[in-house]
Structure 1
């Protein structure tokens, strides 16, 4: 039976947080494209924007948000904004500095959700991926999730983040945080799509109350195309969820696009989906498959 979802559909998390079931991902979007996409998304009904320090476009996102707020089309409290701590800042003394960088670029007083982007830290630096003379990534072997989490909790105490969470963590890694947390992680954002449904993670999520958010909910079609073109995968064996014949038949039957079918599937599992697109028409199209799933925060 299909889930009964309404225009106010959200998932709830501990501590009290109402997270819209569908959001806009902003990875790999250049400044002009991301500004246009965000304005189109909000006008279409999106209320959840997902970004990160390492996407290197938060200043552009901040400009788009300011344009929307100044126009009176939307209020800050009606949007849910997620950002993330980079791997090069995974030391307790750096968390406040980097969330402040995020807030300055986004032109916001707070983010609704702040995530530790990856469980493995890199040595602190201004580069995205620090490497040694031989080309190997310089890992930060001092990374301590529990100590880092205490610094994340301090951001909630200071009002810079309404809620905190993690991304790309294993259940065991989150369980260690849960055993030591004063404020539990609200979310674990992970790769999640038709071909990678994270069945064990879903069970763990229901048990712990740590909600799942799906990045790459369409299966990263641009990467599939790249792998096919360079011979990494055989196109006859790996087509990707968007080109899956079963998805195609379902889409045709219900007069939807394959992307709309894939997003609906994830959302009906109670998992938040954050498809990314820098094309305004595609941003709107992704919502049209499930218009009643747009969550308005009130």
Structure 2
């Protein structure tokens, strides 16, 4: 049997990572209306934080020999992660799983836009065109002025903003900062906030169904983090990164199977538009980086 190439391994790991995160989101969505969000975030976050801490220690990522200026960036990134968690799950409880996931496919476009606006990174006319078309796809999903455009839709868009800020801040950190330490700080920030928030809410007993879903959400997020760490070690980024979009396929499938959800035709057209332009943007960025490396 011919061994798999590094690119194939990376693609499979990326698909597995997206599947794990999406399955975890589906488990959390199933808990909507059963457990308070603060309780969900606290319990899931404790499990995730313990796992990330163990992984960081095992890989030697718990170290602090990096510039102090990076701590401000880590703090800002952690706050952005907190904002993303709250807005995402608020939207997830009240929107179709695929709709929320489709909007998150905007990230390659919004990160490129943010890099151009705030960091003056060069962006050619093709990528500007892709960003414009991608935002048109986003409008097809949210459809301002329609009944579907509400606080939940705005919350999903808030998630896109928060994750964009998170990723832009990450780009400004020095390479001396261990990636898993950054992830651990963000996870602990969410846990501390959620645990504090939960003091003003009534915790609900874990019945068999809710315990199973919460356990599934915790296991799937561990799987997602594990696969995402492994994927960084194999394959070319330009080849592997586009497989992030498989998360939308999983969201469509899970939404249909478990929640009897299926997006409207315009939403699907918008999602395909976003994925296509995001894929193109990633491809153009990879080509630009290769040209810079050769010069």
Q: Select the structure that is richer in strand.
A: 1
Q: TM-score, normalised by structure 2?
A: 0.25
Query: Which structure has the highest helix share of the two?
Result: 2
- Provide TM-score, normalisation by structure 1: 0.25
